[in-house]
Structure 1
Amino acid sequence: MTTTTDLRGSVPGEGSRTGPGGRAMLALILLGQFMAVLDVNIVNVALPTLRTDLDASGAGLQLVVAGYTIAYAVLLITGARLGALVGHRRMFHLGLAVFTAASLACGLAPSVWTLVLFRFVQGAGAALLTPQVMSMIQRDFTGAARARALGLYTAIVAGGVVVGQVAGGVLVSADVFGAGWRTVFLVNAPIGVLLLLAGPRVLPPDGRAGRVSLDVPGLLTLTPAVLLFVVPLILGHELGWPVWGWASLAAGAGFLAAFVAVERRVTARGGRPLLSAGALRAPRMVPACVAILAGPGSWGTFLFTTTLHLQGDLGMSPLESGLAFVPCVIAFGLVGLTWQRTPARWHRRLIPAGFAVAAAGYLWVGPLAGGGVAYEALTAVIGLGLGVMSIIMTAALEHVPAGDAADASGLLLTMMQLANVIGVATIGTLFLSMAEGSGSTRHAEYGTGWALAAVALAGAAAGLLLARRPRAGAQ
């Protein structure tokens, strides 16, 4: 006899945090997550005024944008392990405090290089903060409550990227108190302070930590591996893909091999590796990681290239180009918040179907690149397809042991950041090259659409593995 696994949980609501206390906790941690995601892109539309105000070079501007992402991606898995080591609530508060202080420092920065420094610190704070959000959802919510929380979480993670562009345009255009670009950073300070004051009253106390240790050898090999991989991908196109970039990628591969060897040795000696085997061996974790690479990778690249097109050939302002993505965000959030109401047997099948819809939408990016209502409707179709990200994350975490939740959350978040970097560095470079060669961003949209469709189809293939019927006896 076959069974159907309901991703909402086999015992909906049992043991979950519900009522005002649970809702207040979820609102607080998701707002912290939202600020961290928002700051990935919120600075983009402020770059022209920032360049003028601080007399910044192109490399300096690139590092203002990239510094945050670099620190964020490099330290996410370490942040997850530190949460398990000292307590998720404590680490959430520490990360939030670092993020808030660094945001204030960014807003008051007297030069571009001090701003770059504080952006790295801000990214480090976000890396300490964000893994605790998923870990606390995994720890304190079960059944239908967990599924709803994960749906909101995924909508925040993906939607925050677009909202960052819109919010940046609004804040810079408003020019509150003549602060100009500084408002995109200063806005975080009062919100962060309020969350820090509310946290001790809303977040449940950490229990006694188990026997968790920080894998220092793993940290010392994984950190340079990610850093050497991410930096050339972010800066490569801007600097013309110099030789040092390729050497950095090769060195990154060497450190990654060393990391694998170190982790095997730690496991063989009975230690706790930085990335636990339990998290990697959890059913569907590997295909879920592939799908996550395809989802945010194509999504982030679509936002990047389409924003350039809207502000290029179509001549939109930063605010107008940000608002053009509103239908996409609404459609994405609609799927993320309502998929649990569909029959249980549909849940995993929605994943490959969603990627197929997104792939079909990407194919029309070029033909409809003239703008107008049809183009905005197209963004809604793509958002509708990629709204299955919350289902992917729920499926990935469904069978992860509670003790491995921190490692799994750090892995998934790192995959999301790397997916954005890889997508923009590869397909984004294709777009820029085609635009420069033809003198038209509309022409570049054709090639970009085909490439994004191919990535979405790879996600659909991974989704088919996630949709496979569970083996007999599986939960």
Structure 2
Amino acid sequence: MQCGGNMTRTESEPASGETISIPKTQWITYGVLVAMNALTIFDVSKLGVAFDSIQRSTGGNGVIVQLMLVGYTLAYASALLPAGRIGDLMGRRSVFLIGCSLFLLSSFICAMSPNAYWLVAGRFVQGIGAGVLMPQTLGLIQRIFPPELRAKPLAMMGACTSAVSLFGPVVAGVVMQIAGGNDSWRWLFWIDVVVGVIVVGMAYVLVKEPSSERKRGLDVVGILLLIPAVIFGVGPISLISEGDMSSFRVLPVILIGMAFTCLFIVRERRTAACNREPILDLTMFKFKHLGRGVLVSGFMHATATGGTLLITISLEQYAYLNELTTALVMLPASVAMLYGASLVARRQQNRAYAFIVWGNVLGGVSFIAVSVAFGVASAQMLPLILGTILIVISFGSAISASPNQARALIAVPDYRASVAGSSIQFAQRVGSAIGMGLVLVVYYGFGRSAVPVGGQPALGPCLAAIVVGVFLLCAAAIAQGDHD
């Protein structure tokens, strides 16, 4: 099996007990794929510190500017499952390069956008590109490494995803401070363009895909049911914003989304029963660890997005920090995440269960501590306290995220690689949108209640931190039931 260049394995397929060697060219290919994945995750996390700057520069109102993040996430989620299936049909390399090209083009549009509406449109297309390329990344990585060697690279990729989620605001704050001015946020998209051109050029040369088992047929009706299920079911939650607690206004739309979800499930079951290929084959979740791994990923990414957003806006609005100072407060946590990722990468796969469970428990309890800090800490002490707790949270995330992804995919066969990978990413993006929406509605909805932080009311942040902590405790409970 070959993927990533013209080299073959430096050793022939070994007998049992011998070491399998992966050529350096394929490791370089792996790095290219992970780098492109990192760009898509960077675009989820980087704009939290740039909201005010973007609003001043483009003249958009708060809801329009918030659509930048929400639109990207929803488009990302909507494209993932169909793209995973299309990759299985057309070949992952071709679909990967199409997604990369779309991502790059839309990044250029975002960087040059003259107003908020162009920016929102560019972000939506950017999300589609990310959703198209991401499942191919996982599928191609599974082709590079044989099953017995996949645990470590998949764990490393999961660790990279978690690290980029936390490093995103740090990098964004530094870049905006260096660039200066109201248009400093544009440089966050120029990073996508410059790095993306290099990575895509390398991918075009290096990524090669051998033939594999493929089934024909694309469930177009399933796709048409899935898209409104995501947009109507998740979008209204994500768009609840400052002071808007009138949830009943969006309830009918959410119910429509749930109806589309039920129709999508029925459609996929019937498609599979008729021996046709569905967008999401629900029997796939019978593969060991995959079903629970998908759920755990969803809850963890609800925390990753919602928790990072909570810490970022709290430091700016309650401790009065600017973008760069906020980023620097979060920097030690990023280092802790890298250390945790390197720690689990050196451990055996049979310890993954313990890492997943206890990492989430550690993070969940730590977010309860964040809630307490919002209730008792002064504005002067809040950055130090939150930065310290965030180190513990990041370490817990690092030791649980990458083992969960590796464990979830370890038993998935090659021909299901793209769809299985896209199901995990789908859960992550939907979890991110829900986490962000719930954090915002709790944060702002209870923000005027009398629990002071440095003279400022903070019941909203207190309750939002508890919500995020519950997400991680739910993830730990789900993982606990997946013991070998």
The TM-score, its normalising length taken from structure 1, stands at 0.90
Counterpart in 1 of 2:130? Answer: 126
Q: Percent identity?
A: 22
1: CA distance, partners of 2:16 / 2:241? 50
Q: Report if the CA contact (8 A) 2:329-2:384 is conserved.
A: no
Change (3 A) 1:245 1:152: same
Give the CA deviation at 1:43.
2.5
1:176/1:100 Cα in 2 relative to 1: closer, same or farther (>3 Å)?
Answer: farther
Whether contact under 8 Å (2:240, 2:440) holds in the other structure is no
More off after superposition, 107-116 vs 324-333 = 324-333
1:413 aligns with: 425
Distance 2:389 2:414 in 1: 40
Residues 176, 183 of structure 1: 8 Å contact kept: no
Q: Is the Cα–Cα contact under 8 Å of residues 14 and 143 in structure 1 kept in the other structure?
A: no
Aligned residue in 2 for 1:257: 262
Whether the 8 Å contact between 2:448 and 2:458 is mirrored in structure 1 is: no
Q: 1:192 aligns with which of 180, 193, 196?
A: 196
* CA pair 178-435 structure 1, distance change in 2 beyond 3 A: closer
1:341 and 2:349 are equivalent in the alignment? no
Q: Which residue of 2 aligns with 1:376?
A: 387
The corresponding residue for 1:277 is 282
Return closer, same or farther for 1:135/1:441 CA change in 2, 3 Å cut-off.
Answer: farther
SS in 1 for 2:434: helix
Answering whether residue 77 of structure 2 is matched by residue 73 of structure 1, we say: yes
User: What is the alpha-carbon distance in structure 2 between the residues aligned to residue 236 and residue 356 of structure 1?
Assistant: 29
Distance 1:298 1:251 in 2: 26
- In structure 2, do the counterparts of structure 1 residues 456 and 193 end up closer, same or farther at CA, with 3 Å as the change threshold? closer
Superposed CA deviations along residues 409-431 of structure 1, whole A, max 9, x for unmatched, are 11100111111111222244222
- Counterpart AA for 2:154: L
Alignment: residue pair count: 458
1:169 aligns with 2:185: no
* 1:333-354 Cα deviation digits (max 9, x unpaired): 3233322433554331222122
Partner deviation per Cα, 1:137-159 (whole Å, 9 max, x = no partner):
12211356422221221122222
Does residue 459 of structure 1 match 2:482? no
Mapped contact 1:301–1:420 kept (Cα < 8 A): yes
1:24-50 C-alpha deviation (Å, 9 max, x unpaired): 101111111111111113223223232
Once the 2 structures are TM-superposed, how far is the Cα of residue 244 of structure 1 from its aligned partner? Answer: 4.9
CA contact (8 A) 1:279 1:407 kept: no
* Matching of residues 101-112 of structure 1 within 5 Å: 101-112=105-116
Which is worse superposed, 222-231 or 375-384?
Answer: 375-384
Give the alignment's Cα RMSD to 1 decimal. 2.4
1:391 paired with 2:403, answer: yes
Distance 1:94 1:423 in 2: 30
Q: Which stretch of the first structure deviates more once superposed, 30-39 or 433-442? A: 433-442
8 Å Cα contact 2:166-2:334 kept in structure 1: yes
SS in 2 for 1:437: coil
In structure 1, the gaps of 5 or more residues are 1-9, 470-475
Residue 45 of structure 1 aligns to a residue whose secondary structure is helix
Out of 284, 300, 310, the position equivalent to 1:305 is: 310
1:403 aligns with 2:415: yes
- State the alpha-carbon separation in 1 of the partners of residues 414 and 168 from structure 2: 32
What is the aligned counterpart of 2:45 among 31, 41, 46?
Answer: 41
Match of 2:448 in 1: 436
2: distance between equivalents of 1:98 and 1:12? 44
**Residues 50 and 185, structure 2, Cα contact 8 Å, conserved in 1:** yes
The one-letter amino acid paired with 2:436 is: V
Cα distance in structure 2, aligned partners of 1:80 and 1:264: 18
Unpaired segments ≥5 residues, structure 2: 1-14, 375-380
Q: Is the 8 A contact 1:162 1:322 kept in 2?
A: no
Q: What is the identity, as a one-letter code, of the residue corresponding to 2:257? A: G
SS where residue 330 of structure 1 aligns?
helix
Cα distance in 1 for residues equivalent to 2:328 and 2:17: 37
Q: Once the 2 structures are TM-superposed, how far is the Cα of residue 58 of structure 1 from its aligned partner?
A: 2.2
Q: Which amino acid aligns with 2:108?
A: L
User: Hey, what's the Cα distance between the residues in 2 that align with 1:279 and 1:51?
Assistant: 44
Shift of 1:441: 6.0
Deviation string, structure 1 residues 205-228 (Cα, Å, up to 9, x no partner): 342662232211111111111111
